[in-house]
Amino acid sequence: EKCDIGLIGLGVMGKNLALNLADNGYRIAAFDLDHQKIEDAMAQDKAESGKGGRIVGCSSYTELLSRLTVPHMIVLSIPAGDIVDDVCHKLVDAGIKADDIIVDTGNSLWTDTVRREKQYRGQFFFFSTAVSGGEVGARFGPSLMPSGDPYAWARIEPVWEAIAAKVDPATGKAIERFEPGNPVKEGEPCAAYIGPSGAGHYVKMVHNGIEYADMQLICEAYHLMRAGLDMSPAEISDVFAEWNKGVLESYLIEISAEVLREVDSDTNAPLVDLILDKAGQKGTGLWTAVSSLEIGSPAPTIAQAVYARSLSTLKEDRVLASKLLQGPAIDQALVADRDAVIQSLHDGLYCSKICAYAQGFQLMQMASDEHGWQLDFGSIAKIWRAGCIIRAAFLQSITEAYQRQEDLHNLLLDSFFAEQINKYQANWRKSIANATLLGIPCGAFSSALAYYDSYRCETLPANLLQGQRDYFGAHTFERVDKPRGKKFHVEWGRPGRPMRQL
């Protein structure tokens, strides 16, 4: 019996995608350079299904192709980078044909995906599907962001819709069932065609940028409670668990509460206190920040989250500086007012989060305009409601905002979000003032507030800036009292200041 889908790369994501596909009735031909990983995947298939045989291990690319139905559909679950091209070339050598499809599910840089689609056109269909949701998502329902040739999509669509996370359309919430052999079949799948090649990886990149911001905002709230209010990780875990019942309900808040509750079995200390405070990163958050700078769509909270990770890696400097550089004198009355400080923090986190998402969505919109992708933001918000790392009750509100107005420029201009910020902004400002007075860094919170205050400012000091530019470099400026587009230059400092219209 032939297999339906080939899967290359049986790391954490690949193995779990294979098991998810198998649960949904697909037979998988699987290959990995590490033979042990093939054995492990087959053993897990056997253990879960009783008889095995749903995942068929292959020992070469040629064998993999020979085991598949024609035309072939091959899913790559391998790290981003040159290895994707290596594997494509090996599959070409092994005999892949023009009608076959290779689907890249890694966190590839979107421009690589655009290049690959062009490069391999005629040899096979290079299609991409960005996957979010980590190990459990891959196993029981990820959020999938496919893009590329519509012909390939027509063939892949039923497969992705089967394995994706599902949302109950009545509530907008995930239908979760983490049972091997019993996949969720009902509900709306978190898989929607994003657009032409590269669009899906771009959207996943921005998802990760937002993920960075979300994570950093939660970390800053934790930091203020831990170092500013001297609360224990268990106490902070309780606060997060409570927050998870309201507007902040999200996967990232939920797992943060669980991380904070964990106790090290050797030392009995809270495990979080033993984890070295140097953050890793694989690049997607950085790419988002770079793209926002290149396109000129401000995403300061996302960029700040990347900087916060960079700053965390300067551990040796920080140890030194902590002995040398002083913080503020602490007002004990503030520390004693714990409940109020925590309430402001909650509201501040919520408002900052709204801004981070506003930045991410506006960035996608500007990229969509620039590349002609015609992204559908309602649909993107919908497929982020379940399965992915940033899944949250909040995504339902974003979905509704785009339902109210399809071409919404910025989430802050939506009536619901504008009203939410109006309601909570006093506490948002207090949360940043409190952190500042306690000497606790809150770059993501404050960059979000500065973004908000700038965005709502009818007049920014860019008038002075234009004056400065014209002064030293004759860069010209426009005037508010003259038609737009007309350029002026002043001979600054000269008597009579002759003004020239250019």
Residues annotated catalytic, as ranges? 204, 211
* Beta carbon of residue 275, minimum distance to ligand 6PG (angstroms, whole number): 14
Q: State which residue, 13 or 42, has the beta carbon closest to ligand 6PG.
A: 13
Q: State which residue, 195 or 387, has the beta carbon closest to ligand 6PG.
A: 387
Q: State which residue, 208 or 292, has the beta carbon closest to ligand 6PG.
A: 208
How many amino acids of this chain bind ligand 6PG (CB under 6 A)?
13
Amino acid at 298: P
Q: State which residue, 137 or 228, has the beta carbon closest to ligand 6PG.
A: 137
Q: Of the ranges 52-60, 255-263, 281-289, 290-298, which one interacts with ligand 6PG (CB under 6 A)?
A: 281-289
Q: State which residue, 110 or 452, has the beta carbon closest to ligand 6PG.
A: 110
* Beta carbon of residue 493, minimum distance to ligand 6PG (angstroms, whole number): 50
Cβ-contact 149, 125 below 8 angstroms: yes
Q: State which residue, 107 or 399, has the beta carbon closest to ligand 6PG.
A: 107
* Beta carbon of residue 214, minimum distance to ligand 6PG (angstroms, whole number): 11
Using the rule CB under 6 A, is 256 a contact of ligand 6PG? Answer: no
Using the rule CB under 6 A, is 352 a contact of ligand 6PG? Answer: no
> Among residues 20, 129, 208, 297, which is the contact residue for ligand 6PG, using CB under 6 A?
208
Partner residues linked to 128 by β-bridges: 104, 147
Euclidean distance between CA atoms 490 and 500, whole angstroms: 6
Residue from 191, 205, 167 nearest 392 by CA: 167
* Beta carbon of residue 185, minimum distance to ligand 6PG (angstroms, whole number): 23
3-state DSSP call for residue 148?
Answer: coil
Residue from 77, 100, 96 nearest 18 by CA: 77
Residue from 440, 431, 427, 442 nearest 228 by CA: 440
* Beta carbon of residue 311, minimum distance to ligand 6PG (angstroms, whole number): 15
Q: Of the ranges 127-135, 251-259, 437-445, 492-500, which one interacts with ligand 6PG (CB under 6 A)?
A: 127-135
Using the rule CB under 6 A, is 284 a contact of ligand 6PG? Answer: yes
Helical (H) or strand (E) element with 52:
none
Using the rule CB under 6 A, is 388 a contact of ligand 6PG? Answer: yes
Pair of tokens at residue 434 = 């409190």
> Among residues 44, 105, 107, 359, which is the contact residue for ligand 6PG, using CB under 6 A?
107
Beta strand 28-31 pairing with 125-132:
unpaired
> Among residues 62, 123, 281, 425, which is the contact residue for ligand 6PG, using CB under 6 A?
281
Euclidean distance between CA atoms 230 and 253, whole angstroms: 20
Using the rule CB under 6 A, is 280 a contact of ligand 6PG? Answer: yes
Separation of CA 204 from chain center: 6
For residue 196, the tally of other CB atoms under 10 A from its CB is: 17
Using the rule CB under 6 A, is 389 a contact of ligand 6PG? Answer: yes
Partner residues linked to 56 by β-bridges: 29
Pair of tokens at residue 459 = 């007049």
The residue sitting closest to ligand 6PG, measured at its beta carbon, is: 132
Cβ-contact 420, 351 below 8 angstroms: yes
Euclidean distance between CA atoms 1 and 27, whole angstroms: 9
Helical (H) or strand (E) element with 324:
helix 315-324
Query: Taking CB under 6 A as the criterion, which residues in 135-154 touch ligand 6PG?
Result: none
Query: Taking CB under 6 A as the criterion, which residues in 359-378 touch ligand 6PG?
Result: none
Pair of tokens at residue 144 = 């999938």
Using the rule CB under 6 A, is 214 a contact of ligand 6PG? Answer: no
Using the rule CB under 6 A, is 133 a contact of ligand 6PG? Answer: yes
Based on C-alpha coordinates, what's the Rg of the chain? 26
CA torsion sign, 29 to 32 to 36 to 37?
negative
* Beta carbon of residue 381, minimum distance to ligand 6PG (angstroms, whole number): 15
Backbone φ and ψ of 82, nearest 5°: -60, -25
* Beta carbon of residue 145, minimum distance to ligand 6PG (angstroms, whole number): 10
Residues that bind ligand 6PG (CB under 6 A): 107, 132-134, 208, 211, 280-282, 284-285, 388-389
